Amino acid sequence: MTEVFNDISKFQMKINTAKDSIGFVPSLGALHEGHISLIKRSLNENSHTVVSLFLNPTQFNDKNDLKNYPNTFDDDLKILQNLKVDFLLAPEPNNIYPDDYTYKINETKLSNVLCGATRPGHFTGVLTIVAKLLNIVNPNRAYFGEKDYQQYLLIDYMTKALFMKTKIVPCPIIREPSGLALSSRNLLLTEGEKLIAPNLHKIISSDSSISDMHTQLTGFGFKVDYIEEHWGRLFAAAFLGNVRLIDNVQI
């Protein structure tokens, strides 16, 4: 049975008694097969697995995005129980931010491109909450999906720069049969948008020029945020209706 903790102090008292290795999968909730793949890897590689469900307000630069983010806590808990996850950490915001978000981790280089260029404050919120969670859980390994590849790099570099013991483990993107990268935000797509959404991956996987990719995506009704090459990958972000989708492929 998965033990659920809302109180950080009580969780730390419990986790400090755990022997052998601890794996950690942080999440915003609305768990899907992508999250499940991370959890299963942690279960296979560690003696204990912790999953956090915390809809972190500080990483949302758009208040409507935060307001509309799917809340599926009861279903998420059932998934964790079925997987036999050891611990669920689900703290309240005032428990995570007793300082009222006065102390922040601000990266000044890698976070200025891609999502960082168009979502001001996003990665400061991400790095701050991940640092807090890693300090709370103190895991041997933490698992992050490569769909958010820029986020993975920033977190990996942060742990190294701050001499944190946790190893950051990247995990492959999990896709629907259509090629659409799994995301909690996919739940917000209309039925019509779900039919169009797979074209994002299809187009950025093609041999077209970046200019032609822009044109093709616009033709399908996407509002392109960016298509750029970095770190041997092609990254794309685009709005479909009110939903912002991201993806990346190796070049």
Residue with tokens 């490569």: 146
* Secondary structure element (H or E) that encloses residue 25, with its range: strand 22-27
Helix (H) or strand (E) holding 135: helix 122-137
CATH number at 20 reads: 3.40.50.620
How high is the mean pLDDT of the chain?
A: 97
Q: Is residue 108 part of a domain?
A: yes
Report the domain count for the chain.
2
What are the pLDDT digits (tens) for 199-232? 999 999 999 999 999 999 999 999 999 999 999 9
Residue 36 near residue 27 (C-beta atoms within 8 A)? no
Given a cut of 90, whether residue 238 has pLDDT beyond it is yes
Same-domain check for residues 192 and 164:
no
148-190 residue pLDDT tens: 999 999 999 999 999 999 999 999 999 999 999 999 999 999 9
pLDDT at 18 > cutoff 90: no
For the residues 88-109, what does the mean pLDDT come to? Answer: 97
Do 118 and 145 lie in a common domain?
yes
**Residues 96, 67 within the same domain:** yes
Q: Are residues 53 and 84 in the same domain?
A: yes
pLDDT at 157: 98
Instruction: Please tell me the predicted confidence (pLDDT) of residue 38.
Output: 98
Of 35, 48, 122, 214, which residue is the catalytic one? 35
- Domain of residue 219 covers 184-246
35 is catalytic: yes
In this prediction, residue 19 carries a pLDDT of 81
- Cβ–Cβ < 8 Å for 43, 23: yes
